[in-house]
């Protein structure tokens, strides 16, 4: 079973409730919320206040992707605002196992994101401390970028490293329906998509199209 996680980065921020309702109607499994600080990545998006506002509008799990430096300073606020999953970047965390423990102690699922240039071995010593791995298939910072093909191999390597552990492997960046089947075959369990869903005329249909493509025989 593949999960579809629309990234609200490509939604209409002035009509977020409306856009969220559209992807819920399409059967989205969770919402992916991109948090950027203008330091870890060259763009600024939203903080805990908006996560709290989204929390009031949907029962879907909120998958909060922190593209920020020193994430440990803000993790409690994001969990209090309603994040179900909190993903930090390996590159932003000198004390990664401590940060993952912090997330779990607050009652959320702990995720690690890897930039395209970061090897899977960065996960080697935290394999039992995480609930999800987010394989970046673009350099983070913006929606609408092109998928970097090296992510296919990265997903397979992460899967092999995880062994039998029940850890989700998400892929984030440039995901479109024509890639979905291959990504599921690589071992991805969650497809994050922003522009492919919210850039479509009918976001609900776009969620269904991604799922159908991922599960096609
Ligand atoms: C990129 C973000 C992604 C992005 C995906 O920095 O982490 O979640 O919104 O958008 P698309 O699907 O348009 O690449
Ligand atoms: Zn993201």
- Ligand in closest contact with the CA of 134: 2
- Ligand in closest contact with the CA of 115: 1
Instruction: Kindly give the distance from the C-alpha atom of residue 93 to the centroid of ligand 1, in angstroms, as a whole number.
Output: 21
- Give 180-196 pLDDT, tens digit per residue: 999 999 999 999 999 99
Q: What is residue 87's predicted lDDT score, i.e. its pLDDT?
A: 99
Instruction: Kindly give the distance from the C-alpha atom of residue 196 to the centroid of ligand 1, in angstroms, as a whole number.
Output: 10
On the question of pLDDT at 211 being above 90, the answer is yes
How far apart, in whole angstroms, are the C-alpha atoms of residue 132 and residue 168?
4
Catalytic residue among 19, 29, 34, 168: 34
Residue pair 26/201 in contact by the 8 Å Cβ criterion: no
Q: Which protein residues are within 6 Å of ligand 1, measured from CB?
A: 7, 9-10, 32, 34, 65, 138, 140-145, 172-175, 192-196
170 in the Ramachandran plot: left (φ > 0), alpha (ψ -120 to 50) or beta? beta
For residue 145, give the ligand 1 atom closest to its CA: 14
Instruction: Kindly give the distance from the C-alpha atom of residue 137 to the centroid of ligand 1, in angstroms, as a whole number.
Output: 9
Residue 34 designated active-site: yes
Residue pair 137/169 in contact by the 8 Å Cβ criterion: no
For residue 195, give the ligand 1 atom closest to its CA: 13
Geometric angle at alpha carbon 67, from 62 and 87, rounded to 5°? 45
How far apart, in whole angstroms, are the C-alpha atoms of residue 54 and residue 16?
8
**What is residue 168's three-state secondary structure?**
strand
Q: What is the mean pLDDT of residues 57-77?
A: 98
Q: pLDDT-based confidence at 217, cuts 50/70/90?
A: confident
- Give 23-43 pLDDT, tens digit per residue: 999 999 999 999 999 999 999
Q: pLDDT-based confidence at 109, cuts 50/70/90?
A: very high
How far from 145 is each of 46, 59, 140, 195, CA to CA, in Å? 20, 29, 9, 9
On the question of pLDDT at 67 being above 90, the answer is yes
pTM of this prediction? 0.98
Q: What is residue 85's predicted lDDT score, i.e. its pLDDT?
A: 99
Domains and CATH numbers, the chain: 3-215 (3.20.20.70)
Q: What is the mean pLDDT of residues 189-215?
A: 98
How far apart, in whole angstroms, are the C-alpha atoms of residue 49 and residue 56?
11
For residue 36, give the ligand 1 atom closest to its CA: 6
- Quickly count: other Cβ atoms within 10 Å of residue 129's Cβ: 17
């Amino acid at each position: 079973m593949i999960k579809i996680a629309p990234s609200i980065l490509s939604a209409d921020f002035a009509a977020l409730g409306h856009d969220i309702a559209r992807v819920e109607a399409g059967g989205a499994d969770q919402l992916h919320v991109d948090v950027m600080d203008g330091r870890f990545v060259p763009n600024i998006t939203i903080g805990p206040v908006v996560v709290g506002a989204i929390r009031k509008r949907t029962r879907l799990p909120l998958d909060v992707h922190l593209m920020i430096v020193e994430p440990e300073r803000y993790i409690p606020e994001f969990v209090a605002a309603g994040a179900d999953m909190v993903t930090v970047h390996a590159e932003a965390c000198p004390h990664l196992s401590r940060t993952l423990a912090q997330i779990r102690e607050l009652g959320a699922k702990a995720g690690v994101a890897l930039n395209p240039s970061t090897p899977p071995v960065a996960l080697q010593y935290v394999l039992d401390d995480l609930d999800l791995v987010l394989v970046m298939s673009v350099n983070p910072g913006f929606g609408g970028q092109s998928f970097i093909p090296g992510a296919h191999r990265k997903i397979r390597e992460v899967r092999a490293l995880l062994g039998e552990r029940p850890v989700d492997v998400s892929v984030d960046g440039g995901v479109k329906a024509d890639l979905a089947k291959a990504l599921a075959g690589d071992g991805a369990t969650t497809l994050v998509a922003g522009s492919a869903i919210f850039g479509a005329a009918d976001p609900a249909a776009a969620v269904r199209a991604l799922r159908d493509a991922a599960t096609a025989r």
